[in-house]
Amino acid sequence: MAVKLPIYMDYHSTTPVDPEVLEAMLPYFREHFGNAASRNHPFGWNAEAAVDRAREQIGSLIGCKPQEIVFTSGATESDNLAVKGVAYAMKHKGDHIVTSVIEHHAVLDSCRRLEKEGFRVTYLSVDKDGLVDPMAVEEAITDKTILVTIMYANNEIGVLQPVKEIGAICRQKGIVFHSDAVQAVGKIPARVDDLNVDFMSLTAHKMYGPKGVGALYVRMTKPPVKLVPLMDGGGHERGRRSGTLAVPGIVGLGAACVKCERIMEEESKRLVGLRERLKKGIFGRLDHVYLNGHPEKRLPGNCNISFEFVEGESLLMAMKEVAVSSGSACTSATLEPSYVLMALGVGEELAHSSIRFGLGRWNTEEEVDFVVEKVGERVKRLREMSPLYAMALQGVDLKSVQSSSR
Ligand SMILES: *Cc1c(COP(=O)(O)O)cnc(C)c1O
């Protein structure tokens, strides 16, 4: 069977809207266009009812109460709100934040901003598999620590952090714990009580919903965890995020949660199957290839591979039929090697030669087989032009050659 080109294998950067999700959204653009904050007529009531339903649908997927959901414009905003909102609210208690070096830029840059404002941040390193050590979190915590923020699933290498253990440490020490769970929610179980999180970010467009809408889970405790809002205005979302709610998008996020919850178990097995097929296919055809990130503790659909002696960018150019990314989509414009891979100790050369394959809902075995063939063929061809590869094949120790030529 012929596959339709180009093939999309970049599901970590965004996903298409599921037809079931789109269907649910459509009435909210036209007949039910009301403002969810309008209290005086059925247009408003209808919109509010739809938003409330979405809160319950999200709550069902992540195991929280509807009131604990704050709608945002996406996970960049959710991360900003969690990190800065908590820091500003807890300023009287301390000035120290703990995070990791492989967080998404939405978390890292929020931390950088806070550092400019006088907060102190510890950026924990990761091991060669990309894992944060919970003991390192424990050791980093001081009596001035007000927030720990560690992601659940990494967007480049798909590695799953021991969030449950880290959360338990934070809880025991009475420290607020936020997790960016954008890549995990809807793909693998991500329930707030199991993960011991107080705040959790998610976004619709990474889980087959629309772009421009996300949520921040905020645990309701007594006394409640305070959050200083970043948006001032009408006091929507219990004062935590002002602005008219994006009702069609919110309905889409709710519907996306419903479908993810329904098919998660089966779909994650299917994706693990495809991922292993892709990995075996590539490793069977090529030498000098390396998997980045822990082999099992990773997202079902993630496969990040370094192809030694090949530039990732050249490989992308050579495989225009396949949409994948080298490094992360956010930083690939800069041609800097991925900071996530560098943090694993992969080395600049190999970091530059990496490709992220992000498998998702509409990928098929035929597509995987096509990609395996293409990658095998194109990498071999690119290596034919590489003098370093020729030397490696002859058994020349490249490290000595490279260092003596410097
Ligand atoms: C995509 C992504 C974000 C940003 O989400 P947006 O909704 O696009 O702003 C944050 N964190 C992670 C891990 C992501 O993959």
Residue 129 has pLDDT above 50, yes or no: yes
- pLDDT given for residue 334 in this prediction: 60
Residue 328 has pLDDT above 60, yes or no: no
How far away, in angstroms, is 36 Cα from ligand 1 center? 26
| Rounded-to-integer distance, Cα 359 and Cα 281, Å | 15
Residue nearest to atom 3 of ligand 1 (CA): 75
What is the band of 401 on the pLDDT scale with cuts at 50, 70, 90?
Answer: low
Contacts of 276 (CB under 8 A, 6+ apart): none
CATH domain 7-12+264-399 topology: Aspartate Aminotransferase, domain 1 (3.90.1150)
DSSP-assigned states of every residue in 39-89: -SSHHHHHHHHHHHHHHHHHHHHHT--GGGEEEESSHHHHHHHHHHHHHHH
Q: For ligand 1, which residues put their CB under 6 angstroms from it?
A: 74-76, 79, 104, 106, 151, 155, 180, 182-183, 203, 205-206, 214
Residue type, 264: M
Percentage of the chain with pLDDT > 70? 96
CA distance readout (Å), 338 to 127, 206, 346: 16, 21, 10
Judge contact between 231 and 242, C-beta under 8 A. yes
- pLDDT given for residue 36 in this prediction: 95
Whether 330 is catalytic is yes
The string of pLDDT tens digits covering residues 39-91 is 999 999 999 999 999 999 999 999 999 999 999 999 999 999 999 999 999 99
Mutate-to-test residue for ligand 1 from 10, 15, 178, 182, highest number of ligand atoms within 8 A of CB: 182
Judge contact between 27 and 228, C-beta under 8 A. no
- Give the three-state DSSP class for 71: strand
Ligand 1 atom nearest residue 76's Cα: 9
- pLDDT given for residue 336 in this prediction: 82
Q: Which DSSP symbol is given to 305?
A: E
What is the band of 224 on the pLDDT scale with cuts at 50, 70, 90?
Answer: confident
Query: Which two structure tokens, joined as six digits, stand for 147?
Result: 């927030």
| Rounded-to-integer distance, Cα 104 and Cα 114, Å | 16
Mutate-to-test residue for ligand 1 from 10, 102, 203, highest number of ligand atoms within 8 A of CB: 203
Domain boundaries, the chain: 7-12+264-399, 19-260
The string of pLDDT tens digits covering residues 99-116 is 999 999 999 999 999 999
Q: pTM for this structure? A: 0.95
Q: Which DSSP symbol is given to 90?
A: T
What is the band of 35 on the pLDDT scale with cuts at 50, 70, 90?
Answer: very high
| Class in CATH terms, 19-260 | alpha beta
What is the band of 395 on the pLDDT scale with cuts at 50, 70, 90?
Answer: confident
Residue 392 has pLDDT above 50, yes or no: yes
What is the band of 325 on the pLDDT scale with cuts at 50, 70, 90?
Answer: very high
The mean of the pLDDT values for the chain is: 94
How far away, in angstroms, is 75 Cα from ligand 1 center? 5
Residue nearest to atom 15 of ligand 1 (CA): 155
Residues 291-300 have a mean pLDDT of 98
Pick the more confident residue, 331 or 396.
Answer: 396
The string of pLDDT tens digits covering residues 188-212 is 999 999 999 999 999 999 999 999 9
Torsion of CA 34, 38, 43, 49, to 10 degrees: 90
Residue 329 has pLDDT above 80, yes or no: no
- pLDDT given for residue 184 in this prediction: 98
| Rounded-to-integer distance, Cα 164 and Cα 184, Å | 14
- pLDDT given for residue 225 in this prediction: 83
Residue 239 has pLDDT above 50, yes or no: yes
What is the band of 405 on the pLDDT scale with cuts at 50, 70, 90?
Answer: very low
Burial class (CB in 10 A: 0-12, 13-18, 19+), 72: buried
- pLDDT given for residue 327 in this prediction: 65
Residue 231 has pLDDT above 60, yes or no: yes
